[in-house]
Amino acid sequence: MTNYLTNELEHLTIDGADAVSLAETYGTPLYVYDVSKIRQTMRAFKTLFEKENVPYVVSYASKAFATKAIYQVAQQEGIHADIVSGGELVTAIKAGFDTKHLSFNGNNKSFDELTLAVEKGVGTIIIDNFLELKLLSTIAQEHQIKQDILLRISPGISAHTHEFISTGQQDSKFGFDLLTGQAKEAFQIAKNDDNLNLRGLHAHIGSQIFDVTGFEKNAALLADTAQSWGWQPAVINVGGGFGIRYTADDKPLPESEYVAAIIRTLKGKAASYDWKMPEIWIEPGRSIVGPAGQTLYTIGSRKDIPDIRHYLAVDGGMGDNIRPALYQAQYEAVLANQPNAQTKEVVRVAGKYCESGDVLVWQQALPETQPGDILSVLATGAYGYAMASNYNRNPRPAVVFVENGKHQLVVARETYEHIMSLDKDYTLQSSTK
Ligand SMILES: *Cc1c(COP(=O)(O)O)cnc(C)c1O
């Protein structure tokens, strides 16, 4: 059994703050992030490259959790960020993030998004398809700049993970297909375009990956591909996807193993091809914010079906964490007011939304609970708030950052006024008599 960190009240603590009093102060559901942990992970990634003395960029894949506050922490820690939409770009800009340190991914960036990116000086645009090559070239020309780009390749590598979070296999909507020669064609177009500065190749094989072989193959493939085109790239971007621990069944390797394997592979390739060592770029999202976040809920009703199941309902659910419903994702939960108490029963933690699939934790051993107790679902920091919705017209929860016992609201809780703010009355009369 895990021994959770507690204070003198035997309450769960999050980077030194009492989880129960956070719930009282800010209400529930509440996303809480341990900022010390975020900084540690960001620093650990950087240190790995620095120890190996290789040029690198650690780019936080901000789709995992994109708020002003996290862009600010990333900037303080000297890491870059990857964006996938105009909305993320605007958030980063409002956070004061240096746009030169942004890279822009996505398989259908619009003309307006690309124009905004060029106007705001986004450092790198990761080109995904032929339409984008043409659009970006035109936009760059109009703005009289030469835009740094990478080409995204679909490498034909299957990562051993859920189908919907696997992106590297040949049958994928992302990137230029390698096996049919589309990637080479894109390379030739990009290389000869005066408005684009092609710096390297990118491939992301998927998410929540637990073994190093996919990363090694990906890195090797990108290097071999460039070499086969007679080209020495300045950048090899191997994407993100480093797996994290959601439950005891997940056995992720330490980040250092994935990164060491990538560095080893590319050092080997650079030596054998007699290249200047290319910059190695990685794009971790989940591994930076996932384990550092948790969601606090208030326990409400329960339903006991003898010999079948105990359902314990909380005041949130699929509107603040869609992943269990979407991917059968597994989580662990802990009773925040008594995290180390003896467990008494196994329950299914359900939400308050009108869907049977609205589950937060499929199976959880817990001590006896009472309505009003605070339950924390752990490791919800990635793709939780980022994928939150107003389903059933529930307001989205607030987000609090905690660092060394101090806490600060970084996203306010939505109100019913926010939910209503875009609705308009319908006033047209029916023309049928
Ligand atoms: C989603 C994504 C990432 C991050 O994946 P994680 O599993 O969160 O690390 C990195 N790069 C690209 C291109 C992505 O689409």
CA of 345 to the centre of ligand 1 (A): 37
CA of 26 to the centre of ligand 1 (A): 30
Residue 108 CB neighbour total at 10 angstroms:
10
Residue 159 beta carbon below 6 angstroms from any ligand 1 atom: no
Residue 323 labeled ligand binder:
yes
Residue 334 CB neighbour total at 10 angstroms:
23
Closest-CA residue, ligand 1 atom 7, reads 241
Residue 240 beta carbon below 6 angstroms from any ligand 1 atom: yes
- The answer to whether residue 138 is domain-embedded is yes
- The Cα 62–Cα 386 span in angstroms is 9
- Asked whether the CA dihedral 187, 191, 195, 201 is positive or negative, the reply is positive
Residue 207 beta carbon below 6 angstroms from any ligand 1 atom: yes
- The answer to whether residue 317 is domain-embedded is yes
- The answer to whether residue 45 is domain-embedded is no
- The Cα 229–Cα 2 span in angstroms is 52
Residue ending a domain, among 264, 285, 306, is 285
CA of 222 to the centre of ligand 1 (A): 17
Residue 286 beta carbon below 6 angstroms from any ligand 1 atom: yes
Residue 175 beta carbon below 6 angstroms from any ligand 1 atom: no
- The Cα 406–Cα 428 span in angstroms is 53
pLDDT at 155: 86
Same domain, 146 and 274: yes
Q: Which domain holds residue 233?
A: 54-285
pLDDT at 237: 98
Of 354, 363, 408, 412, the catalytic one is 354
pLDDT at 432: 65
Nearest atom in ligand 1 to the alpha carbon of residue 290 is 8
CA of 287 to the centre of ligand 1 (A): 10
Same domain, 161 and 246: yes
Place of tokens 């020495």: 232
- pLDDT tens string for the chain (433 positions)? 568 999 999 999 999 999 999 999 999 999 999 999 999 999 999 999 999 999 999 999 999 999 999 999 999 999 999 999 999 999 999 999 999 999 999 999 999 999 999 999 999 999 999 999 999 999 999 999 999 999 999 988 866 655 555 566 778 889 999 989 999 999 999 999 999 999 999 999 999 999 899 999 999 999 999 999 999 999 999 999 999 999 999 999 998 999 999 999 999 999 999 999 999 999 999 999 999 999 999 999 999 999 999 999 999 999 999 999 999 999 999 999 999 999 999 999 999 999 999 999 999 999 999 999 999 999 999 999 999 999 999 999 999 999 999 999 999 999 999 999 999 999 998 776 5
- The Cα 131–Cα 134 span in angstroms is 5
Same domain, 248 and 331: no
- The answer to whether residue 7 is domain-embedded is no
- The Cα 288–Cα 264 span in angstroms is 22
CA of 29 to the centre of ligand 1 (A): 26
Residue 4 labeled ligand binder:
no
Residue ending a domain, among 285, 300, 333, is 285
pLDDT at 331: 98
Residue 13 beta carbon below 6 angstroms from any ligand 1 atom: no
pLDDT at 162: 53
Count of structural domains, the chain:
2
Same domain, 212 and 358: no
Residue 105's CATH number: 3.20.20.10
Same domain, 313 and 272: no
Same domain, 110 and 216: yes
Residue 285 labeled ligand binder:
yes
- The answer to whether residue 373 is domain-embedded is yes
Residue 284 beta carbon below 6 angstroms from any ligand 1 atom: yes
Nearest atom in ligand 1 to the alpha carbon of residue 285 is 8
Residue 283 beta carbon below 6 angstroms from any ligand 1 atom: yes
Nearest atom in ligand 1 to the alpha carbon of residue 243 is 7
Q: Which of 66, 32, 87 is nearest to 408 (CA)?
A: 32
pLDDT at 209: 92
- The answer to whether residue 206 is domain-embedded is yes
pLDDT at 235: 98
Same domain, 185 and 334: no
Residue ending a domain, among 254, 285, 316, is 285
pLDDT at 157: 82
Same domain, 221 and 115: yes
Q: Which of 291, 289, 305 is nearest to 245 (CA)?
A: 291
Residue 290 beta carbon below 6 angstroms from any ligand 1 atom: no
Same domain, 193 and 260: yes
Residue 327's CATH number: 2.40.37.10
State yes or no: is 354 an active-site residue: yes
Residue 243 labeled ligand binder:
no
Same domain, 196 and 255: yes
- The answer to whether residue 274 is domain-embedded is yes
Closest-CA residue, ligand 1 atom 3, reads 240
The one-letter code for the residue type at 292 is: A
What's the predicted TM-score (pTM) here?
A: 0.96
CA of 299 to the centre of ligand 1 (A): 33
Residue 284 labeled ligand binder:
yes
pLDDT at 166: 57
CA of 87 to the centre of ligand 1 (A): 17
Residue 355 labeled ligand binder:
yes
Same domain, 133 and 170: yes
- The answer to whether residue 162 is domain-embedded is yes
Residue 239 labeled ligand binder:
no
Same domain, 277 and 366: no
